[in-house]
Amino acid sequence: MHGDLHLKISIIIAVYNRKDELQELLFSLINQTDKNFEIVIVDDGSQEKLEPIVSTYAEVLDIKYYYKSNSGAGLSRNYGAEHASGNYYIFLDSDCIAPVHYIENVRKELGLNYVDAFGGADSADKNFNDLQKAISYSMTSLLTTGGIRGNKKAINKFQPRSFNMGISKEAFKSVGGFSELRVGEDPDLSLTLWEKGFKTRFFPECKVFHKRRTSLKKFANQVYHFGIARPILNQRHPSFTKITFWFPSLFLIFTVLSLVLSIVNYWCIFPLLFYCCAIFLDSSYKNRSIKIGLISLLTTFIQFFSYGFGFLQSYIKLNILNREPKEAFPSHFY
């Protein structure tokens, strides 16, 4: 199936609690300029009652609601795909907001240059709070992640992420959907697609506003588990291992050494201070806020330290101690 002649889009949203955010996402889907799509809501055992919220949108949206026992996001997305009637799936996280032209732009991109799977960028909406904007900066900036989460010039091949990802039914079924990984299931899917010969592409006009974590503690914990997941993914897909995966861990070591050596020679701290100034100035300018610039310094260090520590811990257990991933990190698997 190529082009948009027979394209039927199913938006699949796996959600656990987060009723206010789900409502914001559904409201953004009401306002789409292209309304030719269905929505499949998979309630992953929420303690909050979500069905009444979903039912309020049933008159204006083609929407299905399914409640199931808690199994995690990946398997819930698989469940949603099983109950979707479309031939092209779009996965959105419940803490995202879709701009009004999102579906229209997806259909346009697929019509002009069809691809098996795509991903879009994420950014902070102007109404997000200062912490959310700072986290968004640290996760997407060229100075922190190389812009790989939203810059098509940053990398040669784009790995779609499940907060904003589209994939054909054919490709999804061919690779068996999301794997048993609890963390890193989306890059695992992307790498499996490449290994099977499917193509992925970045859609620059199909961004979403992504709230991410709403506290520093939750953000640190999330990124820490991202770091643990990367060596697991490297074992599963060794041909896609890159030296850049080490950068957060190297930054962690660099920071510690800079602080220690500065006791002997204060010049040793200057490269780190220069980088901090660059982060502060860049974020302050882009967010038009000195306060957000300062918070971005904190979120950037939390991101690097948490990811870097998780990566080192995982690498040592898997590659030096030769432990099996499921034995070393059982909570990372269903």
pLDDT tens across 140-195, in order?
A: 898 998 765 545 544 457 889 999 999 999 999 999 999 999 999 999 999 999 99
Residue 81: its pLDDT value, please?
98
In DSSP terms, 89 is beta-bridged to: 10, 167
Q: Which of 256, 262, 264 is nearest to 301 (CA)?
A: 256
Of all residues in the chain, the percent with pLDDT exceeding 90 is 82
- Give the C-alpha separation, 173 to 78, whole Å: 10
Residue 177: its pLDDT value, please?
96
- Give the C-alpha separation, 198 to 237, whole Å: 15
Query: In the predicted model, is pLDDT for residue 297 greater than 60?
Result: yes
Q: Are 168 and 82 in contact (CB under 8 A)?
A: no
Q: Residue range 231-257: average pLDDT?
A: 95
Structure token digits, residue 54: 């979903």
Q: Are 149 and 139 in contact (CB under 8 A)?
A: yes
CATH of segment(s) 9-120+160-214:
3.90.550.10
CATH 3.90.550.10 domain range(s) in the chain: 9-120+160-214
Mean pLDDT for the chain overall: 92
Pairing of strands 208-210, 96-97: antiparallel
Q: Residue range 82-103: average pLDDT?
A: 96
Q: Which residues of 301-320 are buried (b: 16+ CB within 10 A; e: fewer)?
A: bbbbbbbbbbbbbbbebbee
Query: In the predicted model, is pLDDT for residue 82 greater than 70?
Result: yes
In DSSP terms, 10 is beta-bridged to: 38, 89
Number of other CB atoms surrounding residue 213 within 10 Å: 18
Residue 146: its pLDDT value, please?
77
Query: In the predicted model, is pLDDT for residue 283 greater than 90?
Result: yes
Residue 308: its pLDDT value, please?
98
Q: Residue range 284-302: average pLDDT?
A: 96
- Give the C-alpha separation, 329 to 232, whole Å: 10
Query: In the predicted model, is pLDDT for residue 298 greater than 90?
Result: yes
What stretches of the chain adopt beta strand conformation (E)? 9-15, 37-44, 63-68, 88-92, 96-97, 117-119, 122-123, 164-168, 200-202, 208-210
In DSSP terms, 43 is beta-bridged to: 15, 67
Query: In the predicted model, is pLDDT for residue 5 greater than 70?
Result: no
Residue 154: its pLDDT value, please?
46
- Give the C-alpha separation, 313 to 130, whole Å: 31
The tens digit of pLDDT for each residue in 118-133 reads 999 888 778 789 999 9
Residue 1 — very low, low, confident or very high, per pLDDT cuts 50/70/90?
low
Residue 330: its pLDDT value, please?
95
Residue 123: its pLDDT value, please?
81
What does the angle CA 190 – CA 185 – CA 166 come to, to the nearest 5 degrees? 50
